[in-house]
């Protein structure tokens, strides 16, 4: 089971490494599909981390892996939204590209919050997990509020 998680994280890292290059060559509809998969993965890792941090499940040894995935995905969010990458299936609002500097600023804030959570987890600072996790969640919500149709 542990090896499967490591393989999954390595696969995520490989996908992220090629995101920028792939975005330049892909059709907008394919970029949207990829972006949706990555954001869904981000949400799944947030959910899993929340379950661990708030004591709903006892998989404490997995928290670091979820947080590292959150770090990787949040670092790459700007590359998931290249100009023209929209389609009828996309939940991204036109404001992403119309207010691109603000969008990038918010994406950077989310990445910084993911880094802070990762540092707390790596240091074993269990007293700050909930606060750092909440800050990351707030950064996600702030971006979704203005840049996502039907924000979650």
Residue whose structure tokens are 């990555």: 38
Residue 18 has pLDDT above 80, yes or no: no
pLDDT of residue 58: 95
Which residue do the tokens 């950077």 mark?
108
CATH for 2-147? Answer: 1.20.120.10
What number is the average pLDDT over the span 10-37? Answer: 71
pLDDT of residue 152: 73
Rounded alpha-carbon distances, angstroms, from residue 105 to 16, 110, 112 = 20, 9, 11
Mean of per-residue pLDDT scores for the chain: 90
Instruction: Determine the pLDDT at residue 26.
Output: 79
Q: What is the pLDDT of residue 151?
A: 77
Any idea which of 84-93, 108-117, 123-132, 136-145 has the lowest mean pLDDT?
84-93
Q: What is the average pLDDT across 96-123?
A: 98
pLDDT at 16 over 60: no
CA atoms within 13 A on the CB side of 41: 25
Average pLDDT score over residue span 9-30: 63
Contact partners, residue 54, CB within 8 Å, separation at least 6:
130
pLDDT for the residue numbered 150 = 85
pLDDT per residue over 24-79, tens digit each?
567 999 999 999 999 999 999 999 999 999 999 999 999 999 999 999 999 999 99
């Amino acid at each position: 089971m542990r090896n499967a998680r490591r393989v999954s994280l390595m696969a995520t890292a490989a996908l992220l490494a090629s995101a920028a290059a792939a975005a330049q060559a892909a059709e907008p509809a394919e970029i949207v599909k990829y972006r949706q998969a990555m954001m869904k993965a981000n949400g799944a890792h947030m959910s899993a981390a929340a379950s661990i941090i708030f004591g709903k499940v006892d998989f404490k040894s997995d928290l670091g892996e979820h947080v590292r995935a959150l770090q990787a995905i949040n670092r790459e969010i700007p590359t998931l939204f290249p100009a023209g990458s929209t389609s009828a299936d996309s939940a991204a609002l036109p404001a992403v590209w119309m207010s691109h500097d603000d969008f990038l600023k918010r994406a950077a804030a989310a990445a910084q919050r993911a880094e802070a959570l990762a540092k707390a987890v790596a240091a074993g600072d269990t007293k700050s997990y909930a606060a750092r996790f909440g800050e990351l969640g707030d950064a996600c919500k702030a971006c979704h509020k203005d840049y996502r149709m039907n924000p979650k």
